[in-house]
Amino acid sequence: MINLETPRKFRAFVNQAHQVAAEMLRPNSRRYDLAEHEYPVELDMLAAMVDGLGASGTGSGAGAAGVRRTEGTEDTGVKNGSNLSSVLSIMEMSWGDVGLLLSMPRQGLGNSAIASVASDEQLRRFEGVWAAMAITEPECGSDSASIRTTARRDGDDYIIDGEKIFVTAGGRCDAVVVWATLDKSAGRAAIKSFVVPKDTPGVTVERLEHKLGIRASDTATIRFDNCRVPAANLLGSPDIDPGKGFAGVMQTFDNTRPLVAAMAVGVARASLELTKDLLAEAGVDIDYDRPTHRQPAAAATYLQLEADWEAAHLLALQAAWMADNARPNSLEASIAKAKAGRTANDITLRCVELTGTLGYSENHLLEKWSRDSKILDIFEGTQQIQQLIVARRLLGKTSAELK
């Protein structure tokens, strides 16, 4: 059974993550929000520190990597592993700045994809690589099964052709985990993911996007033109199995969606904490011993937001804990992502409202957090897609039966 307290073995690590967020990420938050596309050089030192913690065994799950699921173990005891560790650390780092977190070298969402489905040989070969994840296309957004980028087998290689948009860290990364179809006529079952080094001939970064939020993180459009990659770079099985669909590829989402939920939880917590302080300075007393209807409207609203945050927080922990304990968590991962993404949007915007001109100005980071939070309800599957996935799971419907 899950324990809602932070496991003792993670407490020092979580405290370190919070210290980094408070002393490095938060102080640089406004600077790199204004200087969009400027590389945050401070992150090189942070990445080296994270690498050192991982090598020493004290930093498992730092950043957005380290989320490999353990399968087929005979140990029936409860495990608190790298999934939970990642979620806890990401909550703290996103409390500092989610855009800077997404800019950390070797901690991209592509690294999570590699950690989720790569073979042991691939894990060793891609160790130390900074990998972005490329899924979205100009005519394919939330419906990943409609991917048009193709991967054609040619001897010991695959030739990849297509275009990917909104690739987080796409301009700075070393490699891109590209989702492509082996056979368009085979539908979902033919969708596979490939690790494509950025220096591969045929890979072109077309442009960097100007964005509403997470401006410290670069977001790229990447074109693949007759791009040849070794067959050994395919993650998971190369077989097209209609019975299995693209479950192997989708396992990536089971691990990364709780991470995005954790980002949302961290941003929302930052907003709540600052708002509470600003309300106190304005003389608004939040009394946890009195019912909400007997408190000022601002205090009652704050208590409602705090309750929503707690629900999102616990759902993110549950989804990660289930992955650590080799329990199917597709439903819980989507629930956590849907709840946390929407909750972060609601909390950050309502905190701007509650604090008035202070929240709307650049004197504080509240307005920035409200902009940053929007992407957390969109990428890794929009709110509507998460609700659709949850409905299919609860009703026992396939994607063809419930669209």
The string of DSSP letters for 203-249 reads EEEEEE---SS-TTS-EEEEEEEEEEEEGGGEES-----TTTTTHHH
In this prediction, the residues of the chain whose per-residue pLDDT falls under 50 are 60-67, 72-74
CATH of the domain at 306: 1.20.140.10
Radius of gyration over every alpha carbon of the chain, rounded to an integer in angstroms: 21
Whether 18 and 121 share a structural domain: yes
Q: Look at residue 96 in the predicted model and tell me its pLDDT.
A: 97
- In 3-state terms, what secondary structure has residue 133? strand
Q: Give just the sign of the alpha carbon dihedral 295, 296, 300, 302.
A: negative
380 is catalytic: yes
Structural domain contains residue 280: yes
Q: Look at residue 60 in the predicted model and tell me its pLDDT.
A: 47
Whether 43 and 162 share a structural domain: no
Structural domain contains residue 242: no
Catalytic residue from among 137, 163, 367, 380: 380
User: pLDDT tens across 220-256, in order?
Assistant: 999 999 999 999 999 988 888 776 655 556 777 888 8
Whether 107 and 162 share a structural domain: no
Whether 338 and 251 share a structural domain: yes
Whether 29 and 107 share a structural domain: yes
CATH of the domain at 97: 1.10.540.10
Question: Structural domain tally of the chain?
Answer: 3
Q: Which domain holds residue 226?
A: 131-235
**Cβ neighbours for 320, distance < 8 A, ≥ 6 positions apart:** 83, 84, 86, 87, 258, 262
Domain end (from 107, 125, 143): 125
Q: How many residues does the chain have?
A: 403
Q: Look at residue 403 in the predicted model and tell me its pLDDT.
A: 84
Whether 258 and 215 share a structural domain: no
Q: Look at residue 54 in the predicted model and tell me its pLDDT.
A: 60
- Is 32 exposed, middle or buried (CB count within 10 Å of its CB: 0-12, 13-18, 19+)? buried
Domain end (from 94, 125, 156): 125
Domain end (from 235, 257, 286): 235
Whether 388 and 267 share a structural domain: yes
Whole-model pTM?
Answer: 0.92
Whether 336 and 391 share a structural domain: yes
